[in-house]
């Protein structure tokens, strides 16, 4: 292993802190006019970005969940800040005219040193346990705090956020619908496809479809998505009567969801 001089390590650390994905993500949110806050649960402090639209009983509360970001560097080294560099869900939130917020995942959006964030002394929360029961419980607790008016809820998740949206729908009352965008809906098949280490501490949405079979589901898939391609396991998710799958020929995992998002939002009301 190559050892860097102490001054070089310090320079790298300062640079990483200054340009950490969490800081860039928050700066993006500010440019989009979104408010930033924290909600405390029993185990974690979760970051929230909101469009601050006034609450109306005739509108559903749209709750966005971002993807997995980058838990590993070059697929080998655990990242200290897994926060998404793409901010796909955040940019979709900025186009939403409903009361809407993005609920951060445990240990995401917490700047560079995750250990300083409550409950984040283990990197399992963004690696092996990223879709685990404790993560689901914390996010469900946060939703209940944030939705004091008990509005109908639409859960919207991109990539791994789609997995969490499906799992949260099992845990929450009042979910009107679930929307996944390039959603990771069969975690077991996904890790096998990419030869990743199995996420042994995580739940798998495809194993828990029965409780959400009556909830309206819209699954948006890019035909050119190489990360989570439409395949047999995605077809299984489309089996419940309330579930619809829309395939977009030229779209990839991250592109080009902003273009069609206003039209998708019209379908949700």
pLDDT in tens, 37-73: 999 999 999 999 999 987 777 889 999 999 999 999 9
- Sequence-distant (≥ 6) Cβ neighbours of residue 194 within 8 angstroms: none
Q: Are 135 and 67 spatial neighbours (Cβ–Cβ below 8 Å)?
A: no
pLDDT value at 24 more than 70: yes
Instruction: Give the pLDDT confidence score for residue 69 in this predicted structure.
Output: 95
CATH number 1.10.3720.10 is the correct assignment for the domain at 36-268? no
pTM for the model stands at: 0.91
* Residue bearing the bigger pLDDT, 209 or 141: 141
Residue 164: strand, helix, or coil: helix
CA–CA separation, 137 and 124 (whole Å): 16
Q: Quick one: what percent of the chain has pLDDT higher than 90? A: 72
Domain limits, the chain = 36-268
Helix (H, G, I), strand (E, B) or coil at 222: strand
């Amino acid at each position: 292993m190559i050892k860097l001089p102490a001054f070089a390590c310090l320079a790298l650390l300062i640079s990483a802190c200054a340009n950490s994905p969490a800081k860039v993500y928050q700066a993006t949110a500010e440019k989009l006019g979104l408010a930033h806050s924290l909600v405390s649960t029993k185990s974690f402090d979760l970051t929230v970005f909101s469009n601050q639209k006034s609450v109306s009983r005739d509108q559903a509360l749209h709750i966005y969940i971002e993807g997995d970001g980058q838990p590993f560097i070059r697929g080998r080294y655990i990242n200290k800040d897994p926060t998404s560099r793409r901010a796909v869900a955040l940019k979709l939130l900025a186009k939403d005219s409903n009361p809407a917020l993005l609920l951060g995942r445990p240990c995401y959006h917490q700047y560079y040193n995750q250990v300083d964030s409550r409950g984040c002394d283990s990197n399992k929360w963004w690696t092996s346990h990223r879709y685990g029961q404790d993560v689901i419980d914390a996010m469900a607790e946060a939703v209940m705090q944030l939705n004091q008016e008990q509005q109908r809820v639409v859960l919207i998740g991109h990539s791994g956020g789609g997995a969490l949206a499906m799992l949260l729908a099992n845990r929450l009352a009042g979910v009107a619908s679930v929307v996944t965008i390039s959603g990771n809906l069969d975690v077991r098949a996904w890790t096998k496809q990419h030869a990743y280490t199995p996420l042994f501490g995580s739940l798998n949405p495809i194993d828990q479809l029965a409780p959400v079979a009556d909830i309206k589901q819209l699954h948006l898939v890019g035909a050119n998505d190489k990360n989570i391609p439409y395949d047999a396991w995605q077809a299984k998710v489309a089996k419940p009567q309330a579930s619809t799958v829309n395939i977009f020929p030229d779209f990839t995992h991250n592109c080009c969801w902003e273009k069609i998002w206003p039209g998708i939002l019209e379908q949700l009301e």
